[in-house]
A = this chain, B = another copy of it.
C-alpha cells in the first residue's frame, strides 16, 4: 500500500495525497475528505524510510548511556525518552558500557543512522584528556550533542548540569560543622562530575585540615551494584588503620554501603558515624537509618536538556551551558544542626 494506490483510489494525484498527509492548506475540503476516507479505509500509513529519504530526517534522537540499568542513569533515560516522544521524536538507545572504544563505536553507529541529535546521559562520556573527547567533537560536527552532567567547550556541544562541586563542598562543610573531622570520601567514578565532586570535597576539607594533611579518599572499582563488595572495601580501609567516622559518598549505593558498614562495625548512626550520599535516589530510603543525600534535580536537568535540544533543532540560538544547583536532603545519617551551626566558623 503506497501513496500511488491511495491516489488512484481517490482519483487524485500523489501530490494531493501527500498534501493531505502533511496537512497542507491548499487542498479543497472535498478532496481532503475523499483522500482521508480512502486512507482510513485502506489503513494506509506512509513509509517512514521514504519520508526520511526525502526529508533527510526521521525525527530520531540517539541516547547514549553507559549503563541504563544504573538507577540514576535509568531515570535520566526515562525522563528524556518521555519528553522527546512528547515532542514527536523517537529515541534510539545505545548502552555503551564504560569503555571509550565502545563509546566511539556507538557514537559512529548513531551518526550513521542519521539521528537528528545525540544525548550523552551521564558525565562518564567526557574524559579528562582532550584527545579522548575527540569522538564527541567529531559527532558534534554532524549533529548537536547534548551532555548531561558534564561540560565541554566544543562547538555544537551543549551542557546541562548540576553544580556538583558546590553541592559536595556544602555537604562536606555541613558534616565538618557537625563535628566530624575524619571524613572519608568514597567514590567510584573519575568522570567529569566525579572529578567535580571530589574537588568540592577536597576544597572543603582543606579549609579545615592542617596544611600538608591530605583528605582521605577511597576509590572503589568494583561493580556499581555490589553493595557487599563496597562494604568489604570500607572494612579493608579500616583494617589498614585508616580510621573514619564519616563517609561522603559520590553515589547513593556507596552511601548505603557505608551505612551497612557502620552497622556491622557497631557504630551508632548518626551519633558516632555520619554518611551523606548523592543522587537522592530511592536507595536513600532503603537503608536504616535513611540516608542523607544530595538531590541534583535530575528531572529538571532533563527537561532543560530537551527544551534546549528542541530549540537547537528549530535553529534557535541556545545557551551552551546551563547549570542548576543541587540541594541536600537531610535524613537519618547526619546529625541535625541548629541553623547557626550549619555555618562553619
Contact = CB atoms under 8 A, between A and B. Distances in A.
Contacts of A81: 68, 93-95
Interface in A105-125: 106, 109, 111-114
Interface string A62-88: 010001110100110111011001000
* Oligomer copy total: 2
A108 B288 CA distance: 45
A221 B264 CA distance: 35
A287 B285 contact: no
A283 interface: yes
Contact residues of A: prevailing secondary structure: helix
Nearest to A78: B69
Contact of A94 (B52, B71, B85): B85
A236 interface: no
A66 B62 CA distance: 20
Contacts of A93: 63, 77, 81, 91-93
A90 B90 contact: no
* A-B complex: 4 closest residue pairs judged by Cβ atoms: A49-B52, A74-B74, A69-B78, A49-B53
6 contacts: A47-B114, A67-B78, A69-B71, A90-B92, A256-B286, A287-B287
